[in-house]
Amino acid sequence: MAEVRAMGQAVSHRGPYQECWSPAPAVYFGRAEHHPFDAAGAALTADWHASSSEAELPEQFAREGLAALASLRGSFAVAICGGPAQVWLAVDQIGYKSLYYTVLRGRFAFASEYKALLALADLPLEPDRTAIQHYLATKHPLGGRSFLARARVLQGGNALELRDRKVTVSTYWKPGTDVIARSDREHVSVVRDALLETVHRQVHRYEQVGITLGGGVDAAIVLGALRKMAPDVRISSFTIGAGADDWEVVGARETAEQFGTDHQEFVFDPSTIPTELPQLVWLTEDCGGREEAMLQMHVLRHAGAHSKVVFGGHGADVLFGGMPRHRLVGLAERLPMFSTPLQELFQLSQCGLAPSSLLGRALQTAVYGKTPPQALRVPGAGPSKAVFWQAEVNEFIRATIQRMPSINYLEPNHALAGATLHSPFMDPDMIATSLTVPGWLKSGWRRQKWVLREAAADLVPKSIRHRKKAIQRLDVYGAMGEVLSKLAGEWLVDSALQRHRLLTGPQLQQIRIDRTRARQSREVAHRLWSVLSLECWARHFLSARTGLVKPAVKARS
């Protein structure tokens, strides 16, 4: 029980109300919340925001099995004790909530964040070199694995059964890709109805909510749906950017004025990166995201302090084909004779794998010139692997909707703020509806998310619906590039990455030389961000038992 309490202290940012109990012999549960709760029972839930009552879940699970999980709507992580030799773990359908687990000598342990597992003295602090190699190549975590070799993560739509010390992982939910024959306007109508129904289900219990806005269209569509389905709900909106003239701030301001929200704007100061980056890495663990992760950390602190329910447009780009990668997939679907070079260009852009075909190399030169992206090599890591590719838009969406890297930094920040996140585009019913629409109505070379934009025709003004894709970024050619260059010159001299053999001395030396170009090259700046984040991770977690104190991570009050 003492170990469970120690694990709770490692995740104290998830709430000051902590309790641990034993639902069966040799089974121990612990929970941290921002509000008081009843601890007794055979079920343990983490930040339960699902449509069903958490108190009723054990009985429902006993009757229906895994089908009980598939029917839930909302975010959840749950452990159910079936006796001294059986425990079930599960997370929501897209894996917004996390459960990390480890199998040690004679016992099994799990937690919402793997930093809690560091309280177990017998957990080896071994880096997963292949997972870290994948991060350096793709800027995203590797599905099912963490940077700690002995800590695995339960992925979205999956459940784990521990019975008689044997671990079995099963899939309880997976979206289909059965396109339904309809006219274009019928597809638009079906998406609109699903959007409004989902938003109504998510908002109807509240009198006041918040929403994070940017310069794009996704959150604006959610805001329009909120106004349509809950006109009396008070809405506060929040945005953050590099300055008052940053398009993210300007666009959000225009949207807020259109819908009459109580709007708040915040400006991020890059000079705070040296203190904020260690906090971000400690909080989010596997370094997912670039500067947008830090911007989200800041804006969610403000939003969570004001509103305990925060909406957003997260997942719309993945679900409706709004990213540049979807254009390549869409082209390969429509032009199968060019599928191979397009796939090679995709792999080059996503993980730095060089093309092998003549046409693939020609595309590389056309897009990247003489400096294509190259991934750093982690000593001892397995060979670089290609990321998921499917030359069919809907199949690509079906697989990647449960692998959204933004979840890695969104959920811990909402947990820190004690806030519940809602996005209709992360809802299983909305996902199922989208996948009945053909891919070409979502992603094209000249248009993206067409069916979603059309579905919002009576919800959002045309000027907002037709906005181009907006990506939340800081100005690497200004203060951010200068700060990262200076940090690389300081942090990478006595480097934990070199001490733990995650990067070699010559690699670090070359990074310190290249850092002088951070203000001229976004690619150099983003590589610096990845390496500096990984340096923070190595100091926090691989040196965790050598006296290093975790950074102060507190919610804004």
Q: Are residues 246 and 299 in the same domain?
A: yes
31 and 57 in one domain? yes
What strands, in cross-sheet order, belong to the sheet with 262-267? 262-267, 234-241, 208-212, 309-311, 420-422
In a domain, 193, yes or no: yes
**Structural domain includes residue 329:** no
- pLDDT of 39 strictly over 80: no
So what's the pLDDT on residue 429?
95
Same-domain check for residues 22 and 149: yes
Which of 145, 171, 197 represents a domain boundary (last residue)?
A: 171
Task: Give the structural domain span for 245.
Answer: 184-320+404-465
Amino acid, res. 448:
Q
pLDDT, tens digit (0-9, with 9 covering 90-100), for 11-20: 999 989 998 8
- Is position 202 within any domain? yes
| Residue 189 clears pLDDT 90, i.e. is over it | yes
153 domain residue, yes or no? yes
Residues 369, 354 contacting (CB under 8 angstroms): no
Q: How far is CA 237 from CA 188, 234, 297, 306, 432, in A?
A: 27, 10, 15, 10, 29
Average pLDDT of the residues in 347-358: 89
The answer to whether residue 230 scores a pLDDT higher than 70 is yes
- 13-29 burial, b at 16+ Cβ within 10 Å, e below that, comes to bbbeebbbeebeeebbb
Q: What is the pLDDT at residue 47?
A: 56
What pLDDT does 315 receive? 94
Give yes or no: residues 408 and 280 share one domain.
Answer: yes
The closest of 244, 236, 238 to 260, measured between CA atoms, is 236
In-domain check, residue 549 = no
Same domain, 117 and 77: yes
Q: pLDDT band for position 557 (50/70/90)?
A: very low
Across 329-345, average pLDDT: 91
Say if 252 falls within a structural domain.
Answer: yes
In a domain, 103, yes or no: yes
Q: Is the same domain home to 203 and 137?
A: no
pLDDT score recorded for residue 549: 47
Q: Is the pLDDT of residue 552 over 80?
A: no
Q: What is the pLDDT of residues 40-65, one digit of tens each?
A: 666 666 656 666 666 778 788 888 98
Both 453 and 483 in a single domain?
A: no
Q: Does an H or E element contain 309, and which?
A: strand 309-311
Q: Indicate whether 174 pLDDT > 60.
A: yes
Domain final residue pick, 171, 195, 223: 171
**Residue 43 belongs to a domain with what CATH number?**
3.60.20.10
The torsion angle over the Cα atoms of residues 149, 150, 151 and 154, rounded to 10 degrees, is 100
Going by C-alpha positions, the residue among 141, 434, 448 that lies closest to residue 322 is 448
Q: Which helix (H) or strand (E) segment is 282 a member of?
A: helix 273-284
Please give the tally of structural domains in the chain. 3
How much is the pLDDT for 375? 81
List, in order, residues 6 or more apart from 404 with CB less than 8 Å away. Answer: 94, 314, 315, 318, 426
pLDDT tens digits for 496-547? 999 999 999 999 999 998 888 888 888 888 889 999 999 999 999 998 665 4
CA distance 136 to 133: 5
What is the average pLDDT across 80-103? 91
Which of the two residues, 463 and 446, has the higher pLDDT score? Answer: 463
Q: Is the pLDDT of residue 406 over 90?
A: no
Same domain, 68 and 119: yes
Taking the chain, what is the end-to-end CA distance rounded to the nearest angstrom? 31
Average pLDDT, the chain: 89
Has residue 177 been placed in a domain?
no
Whether residue 302 is predicted with pLDDT greater than 50 in this model: the reply is: yes
Supply the CATH number for residue 412's domain.
3.40.50.620
Same domain, residue pair 203 and 292: yes
The band of 190, judged by pLDDT with boundaries at 50, 70 and 90, is very high
The order of strands in the sheet holding 158-163 is 43-46, 77-83, 86-91, 158-163, 166-171
Considering the domain architecture, whether residues 431 and 485 belong to the same structural domain is answered as no
- Report yes or no: 276 and 269 within 8 Å, Cβ to Cβ: no
Burial string for 249-275 (b: 16+ CB within 10 Å, else e) reads bbbbbbbbebbebebbbeebebeebee
From CA 136, how far away is CA 530, in angstroms rounded? Answer: 7
What's this model's pTM, rounded to 2 decimal places? 0.92
> For residue 4, is pLDDT > 70?
yes
Residues 418 and 278 in one domain: yes
Name, in order, each residue with C-beta under 8 angstroms of 158's C-beta and a sequence gap of 6 or more: 90, 91, 95, 169, 170, 171, 172
Task: Say whether both 199 and 152 belong to one domain.
Answer: no
Q: Is the dihedral of CA 393, 398, 401, 405 positive or negative?
A: negative
pLDDT tens, position by position, 240-249: 988 888 889 9
Q: Out of 441, 465, 489, pick the residue that ends a domain.
A: 465
* Portion of the chain with pLDDT greater than 90, in percent: 58
